[in-house]
Amino acid sequence: MRGRYFRYLFENQAGGLFHSGSVYDRERNTTTNYIYMVESYSRNERVKGELDFGARKDAIPDEIDLLVLGGYTINYIRKLVTLVKEHTVWTLILPYLAPIQRLVLVEETIGRKENMKDVIRFLQDPYLFLQECGIKNLYFVYGNGRIPDRKPEEIAEGCYFEEADDKSLKLIWEMEGYAIPVVHAGYIIENGWFFYFGVYGLDIQTLSGFTREYFSQMENIHEVSENLKEDYKNQMKRFMMTYQLKFGNSPATTIVMYEGPQNIVPSENESFMTEKEFLREEQCRAWIQYAEDNFKTCTIRCMHERDHDIMQHHKSSMDLRFGLLMLGNVNLNHYYENITERFAKIRERVRGIAVPNSGSHADWNPEILHLSECKDRMYWICGKHEITSQNVVSDIVLSSSNNRFLTVDNERGCCLSGYFVPKEDMDRP
C-alpha cells in the first residue's frame, strides 16, 4: 500500500524549542528523520542556565538526515556539538556568523560550569570543526536565494542552494583568512517533503566595518601593561560593552524553515491528522520505524488511545494543510515583509507556526496572524520562557477561535502526526 506517514514533535529543551520530525514513505520504504532546534535569544543578557535536554539514548536515531540550527546560543551549540560527534549527520544547515559575533559567544562561555572546550573550538573555526566531524553536506547560510519559480511538486528531489554573491564571499575570506563555501538560503526536496529556508539577521558588511573601526583604535596591549592577562580582560570588557551598545538591540541571526509535503491532491487522497500533548515522562519520540507492530506504537496509538484533536478530510482547501513554519528567533518587526514575500507561495499549506523567540514581545508583530489565515484550526507552538509575553499569547488566542496556542515547557511537549494515502489504496493491506 502506498502512502506517507509523518510526525512533528516539539519539546522545550534548555529553554529552547527542539523540534524533531519524521516522514515515512511506505511505497519506497524510506524514512527521513530531521531536527530543527533554536534556543530563546535574550538581548543584553548573558544566560548561563544549566543544560538539561533530558533525552534518552534512543530518543535520537543514529543517523540524522537533516539537522538545522535555527540560531546560536551557548546551550544549543553544545547540543549541536553533541549531535554531530555522536550521530551521523547527512545534511547540516546553520547560519553563517562573522568572527566578531563568534568572539562575543566565546566570551559568554567564561564562568560556565560545563566543559566548554569543544564549544570554543567550534566558535574559533566552525567550518573546520564540522568537517572533522564528517558532516556529509554542510551549508553555512548567509542571505536568501531566489524564490522558486516552480511549484514544489514540479521540482526534482535534491538540494538547491546558490553560492553566496562574490562580494560577500570575498569579505568572508578576508574575515576568516580562507575561503568558506557559504551559500544563500535555498530549499530541499527529500522523500516527498519540501524544506524551504530563509535567513535573517545582521549584515556582515556592517559587522566588518565595526570590527575594523574598533580594533584600529585599540592600543597595543604589549605596550600598555606588563600584566597582559589582566589587560586583555579589561580590553575584552570594553569591547563587549561597545558591541552591546552598537548591536545589543539588533535582531538575532536566525534561520526560518518551512516543512511540508511536496504535493497532495485532496480529491485523490484520504488524509488524517491529529494533535496531542504529552508528558515528558511518556518519552515520546518523533521517529517513525516501520515494522508491523512497531509502526503502531507512535502515531496510530495516539490516534486511538489518547486525547487529541483530529483534522480529517480537509475538503475546504485546494491544498491539504500539513505544513509547518518554524520562525526561529526572527524579529517580525524588522522582517515581517521579507518573510511574507519569501513564503507567500506556501502560506496556504501551513497548519502550524512556531512563535518566534518564545513569544518575546520585542520580536512580535501581530501582522503574522494574517500570514496563513484559514477557516480551519491553526496551531501556534511556543516554548515557554521567562520572556514569553502575555500580550503575544492574547493576540494569538483572541484574534480567532480557530487559533490553538500550544505551550511546551519542562513538563509537556506536543506533536502533530498523521498520514495521506491514495484513495484507491485504502482497502489494500
CATH number at residue 23: 3.60.15
d(CA 31, CA 6): 9
Three-state secondary structure readout of the chain: CCCEEEEEEEEEECCEEEEEEEEEECCCCEEEEEEEEEECCCCCCCCCCCCCCCCCCCCCCCEECEEEECECCHHHHHHHHHHHHHCEECEEEEECCCHHHHHHHHHHCCCCCCCCHHHHHHHHCHHHHHHHCCCCEEEEEEEECCCCCCCHHHCCCEEECCECCHHHHHHHHHHHCCCCCEEEECEEEECCEEEEEEEECCCHHHHHHHHHHHHHCCCCHHHHCCCHHHHHHHHHHHHHHHHHHHHCCCCCCEEEEEEEECCCCHHHEEEEEEEEEEEHHHCCCCCCCCCCCHHHHCHHHHHHHCCCEEEECCCCCCCCCCEEEECCCCCHHHHHHHHHHHCHHHHHHEEEEECHHHHEHHHCCHHHHHCCCCCCCEEEEEECCCCECHHHHHHHHHHCCCEEEEEECCCEEEEEEEEEEEHHHCCCC
Mean pLDDT of 251-264: 93
Tens digit of each residue's pLDDT (9 = 90 or more) over 278-297:
887 666 766 775 444 444 44
Examine the fold and report which residue of 247, 279, 314 is the final residue of a domain before the chain moves on: 247
Confidence category of residue 224, pLDDT binned at 50, 70, 90: very low
Confidence category of residue 343, pLDDT binned at 50, 70, 90: very high
311 in the same domain as 162: yes
143 in the same domain as 219: no
294 in the same domain as 240: no
d(CA 199, CA 330): 9
Strongest mean pLDDT among 46-50, 87-91, 423-427: 87-91
pLDDT of residue 49: 47
238 in the same domain as 166: no
Examine the fold and report which residue of 216, 247, 278 is the final residue of a domain before the chain moves on: 247
228 in the same domain as 308: no
263 in the same domain as 218: no
CA 281 centroid distance within chain: 24
- Count of CB atoms situated within 10 Å of the CB of 283: 12
- Is the pLDDT at 352 greater than 50, yes or no? yes
Tens digit of each residue's pLDDT (9 = 90 or more) over 14-48:
889 999 999 999 889 999 999 999 999 876 454 44
Considering its fold, how many domains does the chain have in total? 2
pLDDT of residue 220: 52
360 in the same domain as 275: yes
109 in the same domain as 175: yes
Cα–Cα–Cα angle for 154, 157, 162, rounded to 5 degrees? 90
Three-state secondary structure readout of 375-425: CCCEEEEEECCCCECHHHHHHHHHHCCCEEEEEECCCEEEEEEEEEEEHHH
375 in the same domain as 316: yes
pLDDT of residue 307: 46
232 in the same domain as 182: no
362 in the same domain as 301: yes
Average pLDDT value over all residues in the chain: 85
- pTM exceeding the 0.85 threshold for the entire prediction: yes
167 in the same domain as 220: no
Show the domain range for 215: 206-247
All 3 cell numbers of residue 82?
A: 553533541
Residue where the block lists cell 580590553: 235
pLDDT of residue 344: 94
d(CA 194, CA 154): 11
